[in-house]
Chain A
Amino acid sequence: MTVVDHPAAVLGASFDRDGRLVAADPALAALNARAGGRVGAVFAPPALATVVRLARRLGIVVSRGVTVADEEADIEMWARAQPEGDGVRLAVSGWREVACWAPPRRAGPVAPDAAWRWETDAALRLTLVSPDAGRRHGFDPFALLGRPLTALFDLGSEGDGLLPILSALAGRSALADQPARLRPTGAAVRLSAAVRTDAAGGFGGFLGSVRIVDEEEQAPAPTAPAAGLPAGFSEGLDRALRTPLARIVAHADSINAEAEGPIAADYAGYAADISSAGRHLIGLVDDLVDLQAIERADFLPARDPIDLADVARRAAGLLSVRAANGEVSIERPGFGDAAPATGDFRRTLQIMVNLIGNAVRYSPPGAVVAVAVGHDGDRVVATVADRGKGIAAADQARVFEKFERVDPSEPGGSGLGLYIARRLARAMGGDLSVESAPGEGAVFTLALPGR
Chain B
Amino acid sequence: MSIVPSFTPPAAAAARAETRARARMGTAVADFFLADDDRLDDQTRATVARVLADAVGALDLAIRRHAARLLGRAGPDDAAERLLRLRDDVTRRLSRPGLLPPELVEEMIARVRQDAIAAALPVAVAGPDEPSLVVRLAAVPDAVVAAAATALLTAENRRQDEGGASGELPAELHHRLAWLVAASLHEMAGHDPAVGRALAEATARSIAAHDEGDRLDAVAMRLAIAIDARGEELPELLADALGDRRLALFVAVLARALGFDHPQGRALVIEPDDERLWLALRALALDRPAIARIALALADADPRRDIEAFADRLDEVAAVSPDAARAALAGLTLPTDFRAAIRALGAA
Q: Point out the residue from A54, A58, A62, A121 that lies within 8 Å of B131, measured CB to CB.
A: A121
**Closest approach, in angstroms, between the C-beta of B65 and any C-beta of chain A?**
19
Q: Does B50 reach chain A (CB closer than 8 Å)?
A: no
Q: Within residues 215 to 237 of chain B, which ones have a CB less than 8 A from any CB in chain A?
A: none
Could you say which residues of chain A place their CB within 8 Å of the CB of B288?
59
A196's contact among B123, B158, B308, by CB below 8 Å, is which?
B123
Q: Please determine whether A58 and B295 come into contact, CB atoms closer than 8 angstroms.
A: yes
Which one, A60, A198, A204, contacts B292 given CB within 8 A? A60
Partner of A117, one of B138, B161, B314: B161
> In the complex, A215→B149 CA distance in Å?
38
> 19 interchain pairs (CB within 8 A)?
A58-B293, A58-B311, A59-B314, A60-B296, A62-B296, A121-B131, A121-B132, A121-B135, A122-B126, A122-B130, A128-B156, A128-B160, A131-B162, A145-B138, A145-B157, A146-B131, A146-B139, A198-B122, A205-B132
Given A121-B132, A145-B138, answer yes or no on A198-B157 (Cβ-Cβ < 8 Å): no
A123 to B124, CA, bound (A): 12
User: Is A146 within 8 A of B295, CB to CB?
Assistant: no
CA A204 – CA B124 in complex, angstroms? Answer: 7
Known interface pairs A121-B135, A122-B125; 7 further A-B residue pairs with C-beta atoms within 8 A, sorted by A's residue number: A58-B314, A123-B131, A127-B157, A128-B161, A129-B157, A142-B157, A146-B150
- Please indicate the chain B residues that have their CB under 8 angstroms from the CB of A128 in the complex: 156-157, 160-161
Per-residue CB contact flags for chain B residues 138-153 toward chain A (1 = under 8 Å, else 0) read: 1100000000011001
Number of A-B contacts (CB under 8 A): 97
Q: Are A205 and B123 in contact (CB under 8 A)?
A: yes
Distance (whole angstroms) from the CB of A241 to the closest CB of chain B: 29
Contact indicator B122/A127 (Cβ below 8 Å): no
Report the separation of the CA atoms of residues A60 and B310 in the bound assembly, to the nearest whole angstrom.
Answer: 14
Report the separation of the CA atoms of residues A141 and B135 in the bound assembly, to the nearest whole angstrom: 15
CB distance from B117 to the nearest CB of A (A): 16
Q: How far is the CA of A146 from the CA of B295 in the complex (A)?
A: 28
Q: Is A64 an interface residue (CB 8 A)?
A: yes
Contacts of B123 on A, CB cut-off 8 Å?
122, 196-199, 204-205
Chain B residues near A54 (CB, 8 Å)? 296, 307, 311
Residues of B within 8 A of A58 (CB): 289, 292-293, 295-296, 307, 311, 314
Chain B interfacial residues counted at CB < 8 A: 36
Determine how close the nearest CB of chain B comes to the CB of A312; give it in whole angstroms: 26
Quick check: is A158 within 8 A (CB to CB) of the other chain? no
Q: Take A129-B157, A131-B161 as given contacts and tell me if A57 and B122 are in contact as well, using a CB distance cutoff of 8 Å.
A: no
> Lowest 5 CB-CB distances: which A-B pairs, in order?
A121-B132, A58-B292, A204-B123, A57-B311, A145-B153
Assess whether A131 is in contact with B289, with CB atoms less than 8 Å apart.
Answer: no
| CA–CA, A58 and B314, complex, Å | 7
Contact of B333 with A by CB under 8 A: no
Which residues of A (101-141) have their CB < 8 Å from a CB of B?
Answer: 117, 121-123, 125, 127-132, 141
Q: Is there a chain A Cβ closer than 8 Å to B103's Cβ?
A: no
Interface centre among B135, B138, B158 (most CB of A within 10 A): B135
Docked pose: A167 CA to B164 CA in angstroms: 35
Would you call A141 and B157 a contact (CB within 8 A)?
yes
A123 near B157 with CB under 8 A, answer no
Q: How far is the CA of A129 from the CA of B154 in the complex (A)?
A: 9
- Interfacial chain B residues near A59, Cβ < 8 Å: 288-289, 292, 314
CB neighbours of B162 from chain A (8 A): 131
B130 touches A123 (CB 8 A): yes
Contacts of B54 in A (CB 8 A): none
Closest to A56 in B: B311
Within 8 A of A (CB), among B267-296: 288-289, 292-293, 295-296
What is the distance, in angstroms, from A19's C-beta to the closest C-beta of chain B? Answer: 12
Q: Does B37 contact A (CB under 8 A)?
A: no
CA distance A125 to B129 in the complex (A): 10
Q: In whole angstroms, how far apart are the Cα atoms of A197 and B129 in the complex?
A: 14
- A 155-194 to B, binary, CB cutoff 8 A, 1 in contact else 0: 0000000000000000000000000000000000000000
In the complex, are the beta carbons of A145 and B292 less than 8 A apart?
Answer: no
- Chain B nearest CB from A266 CB (Å) reads 11
Q: Does A202 sit within 8 A of B, measured CB to CB?
A: yes
Cβ of B212 within 8 Å of any chain A Cβ, yes or no, is: no
Expressed in whole angstroms, the Cα–Cα distance for A197 and B245 within the complex equals 13
Interface pair A123/B154, CB less than 8 Å apart = no
Separation of A196 and B119 alpha carbons in the complex (Å): 12
- Interface residue B36 (Cβ < 8 Å from any Cβ of A): yes
A265 within 8 A of B: yes
Residues of A within 8 A of B107 (CB): none
Is B115 among interface residues, defined by CB-CB distance under 8 A?
Answer: no
Q: Is B300 an interface residue (CB 8 A)?
A: yes
Q: Which of B139-194 contact A (CB under 8 A)?
A: 139, 149-150, 153-154, 156-158, 160-162
A202 to B123, CA, bound (A): 10
Task: Assess the B311–A199 pair: CB atoms within 8 A.
Answer: no
B124 to A198, Cβ gap below 8 A? yes
CB of A125 within 8 A of CB of B307, answer no
Known: A121-B131, A123-B132, A123-B135. A130 touches B154 (CB 8 A): no
Q: Which of B292-309 contact A (CB under 8 A)?
A: 292-293, 295-296, 300, 307-308
CB <8 Å contact, B36 and A145: no
Give the chain A neighbours of B124 by CB distance below 8 A: 198-199, 204
